[in-house]
Structure 1
Amino acid sequence: MTTLIESNEHKSLREAVAAFAQTHPHTTNAEDGKRLWQDAAKLGYIGVNLPEAYGGGGAGITGLSLVLEELGAAGNPLLMMIVSPAICGTVIARFGTEEQKRAWLPSLADGTRLMAFGITEPDAGSNSHRITTTARRDPATGDWILTGRKVFVSGVDIADATLIVGRTEDARTGRLKPCLFIVPRDAPGFERRPIDMELNAVERQFELTLDDVRLPADALVGDEDAGLLQLFAGLNPERVMTAAFGIGMGRYALSRAVEYARERTVWKTPIGAHQAIAHPLAQAHIDLELARLMMQKAAHLYDAGDDVGAGEAANMAKYAAGEACVKAVDQAVHTLGGNGLTREFGLARLITASRVARIAPVSREMILNYVSHQTLGLPKSY
């Protein structure tokens, strides 16, 4: 798959990552995932978006998204790339103190440390205004004390810390405002419980409990009064990277289906010669290409500093990629028939995984709400 808007540097990066991804077996367990992560990090792929001054590649979200896409297209998506370098690394790079940048960015860039991200709560999914995890100051020490719960937090067991979205009280208005805190994995009162998922993925999902977790004053990332700005600085890259995740997965499924349709012969010609097989695969290819164009637009806008434009484009990219991914996977399974459900061809596991691109980190319905309100100017229903 080619595109006209990539720079020569990005084209070279894409080719190098694609070649690298082919040298690894599919990531089917935690050990495989760890080995792939480490090998990718040694080549500079994990931190390609982070500032060069702190050990990164300086290629922005544009570079990181194509890395994840190509890994996914080879059947080796790394979910934690969305979380550790894209969300957490971006937030720290943009808003962290110099001490936080020096402490975290080099190790996030070289892959030796990972950071998880906790925002979703049992009673606060898409509505972040309902977050109840609170952070209060200890007047005697200046420490922060966090209390609350989080759910569907990826990779907490392999992360060295979790960037937690909590809420602090505004001294002027008395209202709660979102703030971001770095919580070390071994912090007293910080407990995790794995969620029993039917999703077949290397990274596990967790429910977190924060029971009066005491953190030093410098655990707060950025300005206490700029919470929403800092939060969305991480969520836009998250949407772009989720789009890359879906596009890569869709490309992988489509490639397996095309390969099968070229060879599988039931009558006189391979089944790929029949339009009932060929046309849906062609449509899947078109949808994936269109989603990729919107993803690239969103990444370019974000890297150019246009947060407002990137917000709209990132939501659209995530929506388009989720739809394209699900359709590509479904069509691939249908193309292979019974073989599409066997372990040998590796497509059945994508039936569940592809839905992730539709429902996380924000549902397709909430994206449609966003576009209808923010782009079209229609009134809200909630």
Structure 2
Amino acid sequence: MSPVIESDEHKALRAAVRTLGERHGRNHDREALWAEAGKLGYLGVNLPEEYGGGGGGIAELHLVLEELGATGCPLLMMVVSPAICGTVIARFGTEDQKRAWLPGLADGTRTMAFGITEPDAGSNSHRITTTARRDPDTGDWLLTGRKVFISGVDIADATLIVGRTEDSRTGRLKPCLFIVPRDAPGFERRQLDMELTAAEKQFELTLDDVRLPAEALVGDEDAGLLQLFAGLNPERVMTAAFAIGMGRYALTQAITYARDRTVWNTPIGAHQAIAHPLAQAHIDLELARLMTQKAAHLYDAGDDVGAGEAANMAKYAAGEACVKAVDQAVHTLGGNGLTREFGLASLITAARVARIAPVSREMILNYVSHQTLGLPKSY
């Protein structure tokens, strides 16, 4: 394929979002930034125009998240609400579901969380135990199970839950997606005590015979796996953008400090021991950005298989680049790197998230070794 080169429209989008991010800054009010980004059309830039979106794709949405992150104010729920849930509903939802949810997701007035991870399943979507069964008398769905490390459930109007239904032909369980309203009876949440500093909280969810109408099912009951990965590929692309933005913010802080900090009448950035690691961090972030752009391009072009490989690679590269950039930035500032003034210390923990969520780097290496290289599995 030809190299992915940003169009003038993409460059203009980056510049506009950067202006928004710089105006709000690191100490931003999350709700105010979310509302303004929605009003300006940035949150729904990937959603169809007929439902209030911008008519673009993940190629545009990931640019928004990256630039907000690079200015110190990333919006984590962008990974979940418009990217995963909005994409799945836009591609597979009924007309009623699209009209009910997409306009609000696009302008930020409604938010949706995404629930897939379970305590005993981890990254293995085939071991999900949350089950959905039909009530033979009413046709309603009854969901039972647990989820863990689910972001933003307290601020979301609903959660898109990945459950499993029984295939009447084989008796096997197959994945399906359900829209579960926040106040549904039997749908309980418990906030997890995290040391991660983030506006969005993490929750454990319990579903105890949560009753949902038949129309809560998103898409075709027999195409659950396809629909699931239609959401997971954008999730990986957006996580990569989140990591790249974070890494760029850290690197910018380090570069500014290295230019201004003088020891023995010489800026510390003049020393190769400082300059070269920062240059390497920049290179790694740029390489990760290129793979992320490729993954977004493939996804928007409808190549789900190609996008799956590229999105996993992008997420891996961006996670590694982010951790290294943050570490080098803190090291460049020394003790100042641990002060609140520069906003780097909190990134030490946050950067690790890009390595372990939504899928660990080891599972990505498994994917590439099996799917790309054709090597045998050990499990």
TM-score normalised by structure 2 residue count: 0.99
2:4–2:290 Cα contact (<8 Å) kept: no
**Equivalent residue number for residue 186 of structure 2:** 189
Residues 339-363 of structure 1, C-alpha deviations (whole Å, 9 max, x = no match): 0000111100000000011000000
1:114–1:160 Cα contact (<8 Å) kept: yes
Distance in 2, Cα, partners of 1:362 & 1:270: 40
Distance in 2, Cα, partners of 1:33 & 1:27: 9
1:27–1:202 Cα contact (<8 Å) kept: no
Q: How many residues align?
A: 377
Alignment pair present for 1:10 and 2:10:
yes
The residue correspondences of 1:76-155 to structure 2 (distance < 5 A) are 76-155=73-152
Alignment pair present for 1:299 and 2:296:
yes
Distance in 2, Cα, partners of 1:116 & 1:267: 53
Runs of 4+ in 1 over 2 A off after TM superposition: none
Residues 164-216 of structure 1, C-alpha deviations (whole Å, 9 max, x = no match): 00000000000000000000000000000000000000000000000000000
Change (3 A) 1:313 1:4: closer
**Equivalent residue number for residue 177 of structure 2:** 180
Distance in 2, Cα, partners of 1:6 & 1:93: 25
**Equivalent residue number for residue 271 of structure 1:** 268
Structure 2 gap ranges (5+): none
Distance in 1, Cα, partners of 2:214 & 2:26: 42
- Displacement of 1:19 in angstroms is 1.0
Alignment pair present for 1:161 and 2:139:
no
**Equivalent residue number for residue 360 of structure 1:** 357
Secondary structure of 2:175 counterpart: strand
Alignment pair present for 1:34 and 2:27:
no
Letter of the structure 2 residue corresponding to residue 12 of structure 1: A
Alignment pair present for 1:319 and 2:316:
yes
Distance in 2, Cα, partners of 1:44 & 1:27: 22
Residues 129-148 of structure 1, C-alpha deviations (whole Å, 9 max, x = no match): 11100000000000000000
Q: Which of 229, 235, 240 is equivalent to 1:238?
A: 235
The residue correspondences of 1:321-336 to structure 2 (distance < 5 A) are 321-336=318-333
Distance in 2, Cα, partners of 1:338 & 1:156: 36
Secondary structure of 1:93 counterpart: helix
Alignment pair present for 1:198 and 2:172:
no
Letter of the structure 2 residue corresponding to residue 23 of structure 1: R
Distance in 1, Cα, partners of 2:77 & 2:271: 40
2:25–2:71 Cα contact (<8 Å) kept: no
- Displacement of 1:69 in angstroms is 0.1
- Displacement of 1:268 in angstroms is 2.4
Distance in 2, Cα, partners of 1:8 & 1:258: 27
